[in-house]
Structure 1
């Protein structure tokens, strides 16, 4: 369905985000920010899973005005980021299931936007590496490479993976090879069966036996505990399953996306930004996650175009985006580089509590772009 909106607030919000992003680009340049610390975005290695969100944010701004004065500079920054990211593809220890987050927002969009053959080549290489992580017996994509005393990561998959599957769907379209899509569907089916509960809540981490592929246990991950409902995990689920439906047309993915969206909206109520975990005990209800709200808003606007109940999801998505702009954006505040406040990275580990986060900024701007009539980058 078409998402109707012509409100003045939308253009104000978009232009405000564009202006701050262009200003930030003069300092951040071709580095890889994650969280804003005392108003300034940090710098991370290109190997870190969030490395694609800064290029993605710049591509959103570039795409809206490719002839603008700032456009050439944004292109140069993105070209440099992409070259750095390609280096990670040569290191097995730097490659994990987040290749979709990184390459859909860098090389793939570069190819889609400008016809860059380097972008296409890098995107297809990343897709091949992502496909190589598929666990045949367990029918899932392995998440991480590092070892852990809490779980055997050789058999671990996590909910965030659903947002990486479009890289495989895209690779099938580009190459004509259906295997990429088949692997993505097999993984999505496993996630739907093993991660998504009857009430629409989801778990973050599932550990499978690395030899047999059988499910062993659920872990709380970035949520409070097994059985809890990490807000950003629910956002990844509703958006990720909506994307799997868009690429495949398989109705089972639409149903899962709707169920997780309905859970998120029911738990959110009249609020704009959720607690970091919908089931956090009272003593831990001290952190919120605007990034979960932004991801959900963009996911709802995607779902609105796919679902028979699209008008409900469109209205909810627009309400959340407008609320982020009116109550959580940093506005014209020069002392803050982040676009939206009150995000939480990892509450159980005490990392990035109630701060701006680069993926919160990206999905906020992506949702605004959708309301203005454009598509997302996934």
Structure 2
């Protein structure tokens, strides 16, 4: 009996230790994010150059200096999105004021037809603004942006073209990141009743699911399509280690994108796809114990490779949503919690440091030595989104608030 009691106590201790290990002080993390972002607002003003008024939004640190980008940059909408999330969390009119100010600098992108990144730029900024304020002006911007994005759809390929650059490499490139821009199209159908946006999103998701994935549910980064026949010409990876490697953020975009597509369509094939991608990530032998992936699952110098906190943040946010729909929900949520525990305790900037960025140790494109082991605005955006999703889960509120 004595040994049984000791054994039971040990099991109980282990259980409670594991539970404690996953516990996250969400409010503390969000308060830290708010303090950092207050620093960022000051640093943005310092970094502005009157000779370059087009530079409006923070992207990263370049040799320790804050790098601002123009609205046309694919990352321009993330900082306004961070401000909207802080407005949502705090209920503060001051955060809302700042969010509106920075969002206004991005709205001109609604007619920029030269990019597929309309969702990243407009939906993360204006979309959150509309969700939180119901401002009719924001609604109009979303609809116009969706019309512009739809112009990149080719019915012969069944997908929207991603890049207009690098014509020496690809004729009609489509990247896995583009899955994230479909949410803008789904929103436009709900706002207008026009199903053409919805149909384009579904076609793109279906064609990507057919062509972009390997048998183990890892994804290529870039596919090149023949614009006349729709035939796949190349399967490449541009920001990852090699064409046959699994670039971590690409897997994150895919997991998140198909969970979102299931939410919008209730098509079970999207749920299954997101679950399979999640299993590829979570069961991968090269996923570190803290669950913050290296920049590529097949990078040659693991464990001496850069991590990508941005991929981890996207994965965690996607897992929180996927956990709502999947029979594996408890396991997926536990995995997301473990990722967020790592990010909140080991990957955040010290108070007042990093020019106000929240997360450290993200990687943009390791092969070209671009933005390696630096803060990135989109890491902060999806980190805050994941924190708010977890908070809503624990409070019994809708995790995805449309």
Decide: shared fold, TM above 0.5.
yes
* 1:334 CA displacement: 3.2
- Tell me, yes or no, if the aligned pair for 2:81 and 2:381 is still in contact at 8 Å: yes
1:184-203 counterparts in 2 under 5 A? Answer: 184-203=201-220
- TM-superposed CA distance for 1:97, in Å, is 1.1
Aligned pairs for 1:150-169 within 5 A: 150-152=169-171, 155-169=172-186
Q: 1:329 to 1:283 in 2, by over 3 A?
A: closer
> Is residue 2:295 matched to residue 1:276?
yes
Asked if 1:18 is matched to 2:37, the reply is: no
Do the aligned partners of 1:369 and 1:376 also contact (CA within 8 Å) in 2? no
Instruction: Determine the C-alpha separation between the residues in 2 that align with 1:151 and 1:193.
Output: 19
For 1:210-225, list aligned pairs within 5 A.
210-225=227-242
Higher Cα Rg: structure 1 or 2? 2
2:194 to 138, 154, 177: 177
Q: What is aligned with 2:16?
A: none
Distance in 2 separating the partners of 1:145 and 1:88: 16
1:241-320 correspondence to structure 2 within 5 Å: 241-267=258-284, 268-282=287-301, 285-320=304-339
Q: CA deviation at 1:39?
A: 4.7
1:246 deviates by: 0.5
The alpha carbon displacement at 1:270 in A equals 2.0
* Structure 1 unaligned spans of 5+: none
Report deviation, 1:255. 0.6
1:79 paired to 2:100: yes
From the superposition, tell whether residues 246 and 352 of structure 1 become closer, same or farther in structure 2 (CA, over 3 Å): same
Q: 1:89 to 1:170 in 2, by over 3 A?
A: closer
TM-score normalised to structure 2 length: 0.86
2:252 is the alignment partner of 1:235: yes
Q: Which residue of 1 aligns with 2:89?
A: 64
Report Cα offsets for 1:134-165 as digits up to 9, x if no partner.
1110100100122432222xx11100011110
Measured in 2, the distance between the counterparts of 1:41 and 1:258 equals 37
String of CA shifts for 1:81-136, please: whole Å, max 9, x gaps. Answer: 333323233444xx311101111112222122112111111110000111111111
Q: Which stretches of structure 1, 4 residues or longer, exceed 6 Å deviation after superposition?
A: none
Given that 2:43 and 2:66 are in contact with CA atoms closer than 8 Å, whether structure 1 keeps it comes out as no
Higher normalized strand content (fraction of residues): 2
Using the alignment, how far apart are the partners of 1:216 and 1:123 within structure 2? 33
Q: 1:284 to 1:128 in 2, by over 3 A?
A: farther
Aligned-residue RMSD, C-alpha = 2.1
Q: Which runs of 5+ in 2 are unaligned?
A: 1-18, 46-54
Task: Name 2:76's counterpart in structure 1.
Answer: 51
Of 357, 362, 365, the match for 1:338: 357
1:39 and 1:228 mapped to 2: Cα distance?
30
**Cα offsets for 1:25-80 (capped at 9, x unmatched):** 233269211112355431011100011100100000001122x3xx33x3333333
Q: Tell me, in whole angstroms, the C-alpha distance in 1 between the residues paired with 2:322 and 2:222.
A: 24
Q: Secondary structure of 2:283's match?
A: helix
Question: 1:335 and 1:105 mapped to 2: Cα distance?
Answer: 23
Aligned residue-pair number? 367
